Amino acid sequence: MDHGHLHHFSGGIDQSIASGVGGGDRFPQWSVQETRDFLMIRGELDQTFLETKRNKLLWEVISGKMKERGYNRSAEQCKAKWKNLVTRYKGCETVEHDGMRQQFPFYNDLQAIFTARMQRMLWMETEGVGSGSKKRVMQLSSDDDDDHEESDQEKASVGKNKKRKAIKISMGNNPSSSNVINTKEILDEFMKQQMHIDMEWMKTFEVKEEERRLQEMEWRQKMEALEHERIMLDQTWREREEQRMMREEARSEKRDALITELFNKLRRQDQ
């Protein structure tokens, strides 16, 4: 696929996402912050969407939560916006072109929603074989349109969906136990790797802590040596100062004695 076709594909989806339901000037465009708030609300209800077949009420709930945040969006607008965003996200996943992901500002938000969905699916598989397989099929079949409302288009595709689900369930019943075992092995391996990483981190931390302790001990020894040296120098200075004062006193006494003797001689001569 050349870059020109990618640009045309990205531009077409950008226009459909910006128009909300695809009506052009009928509805105001979705701002970036409004879309992020919408995805946050939709992500909080993602598990409920997967467990509910008729989710028209859920879209009404999302519309109400959007109004609480100051956005006037109907349930149909929210539903159409979600489908457009999922279509754009899957386009980025299929094409695997970094330029398209950079042009799509909500790629990481949608990836976080679908990643959390996959994690929940793995945990549900480990809890029970039957329920895990059934929920896994529901999750995989609800990636594109996660609502199962009774619209005319959905009624026309009921037969195809039932056949597709029947095939998936029949394929999933046989290897379900092995899938659960594989999932448990993956989780066990992940936990082992995590424990290994934690142990390595603890070893590194202990080595760093020992180095810090040795450095601190060395620093304390140096400080003690410097303090001892300072005390010795101070003591030496005091001793020298005392000796200097003693010599100064001795000189003063000798000078006084000489002056006294000189005065005595002068007196005797005068007499």
Q: How many CA atoms lie within 13 A of 119 on its CB side?
A: 7
Cα–Cα–Cα angle for 228, 243, 262, nearest 5°?
A: 170
Cα gap 102→92, rounded to integer Å: 10
The structure tokens listed for 258 are 């000489």
pLDDT digits (tens, 9 = 90+) for 157-209: 445 555 455 445 444 444 455 556 777 778 888 888 888 888 989 999 999 99
Q: How many CA atoms lie within 13 A of 182 on its CB side?
A: 5
Burial class (CB in 10 A: 0-12, 13-18, 19+), 13: buried
Cβ atoms of 87 and 9 closer than 8 Å: no
Residue 65 neighbours by CB distance under 10 Å: 19
Please list, in sequence order, all residues whose beta carbon lies within 8 angstroms of the beta carbon of residue 168, skipping any fewer than 6 positions away: 137, 140, 141
Residues in the chain with pLDDT values less than 50: 1-25, 129-158, 163, 166-167, 169-175
Cα–Cα–Cα angle for 12, 39, 124, nearest 5°?
A: 115
CA proximity to 82, closest of 138, 30, 25:
30
Is the dihedral angle over the CA atoms 165, 166, 169, 174 positive or is it negative? negative
Cα gap 267→257, rounded to integer Å: 15
Q: What is the pLDDT of residue 41?
A: 92
Cβ atoms of 21 and 77 closer than 8 Å: yes
6 to each of 22, 88, 98, how far by Cα in Å?
20, 12, 11
Alpha-helical (H) ranges within the chain are 3-18, 32-44, 46-51, 56-68, 75-95, 98-103, 107-127, 129-141, 152-156, 158-173, 176-270
CA proximity to 146, closest of 253, 244, 53:
53
Cα gap 57→48, rounded to integer Å: 11
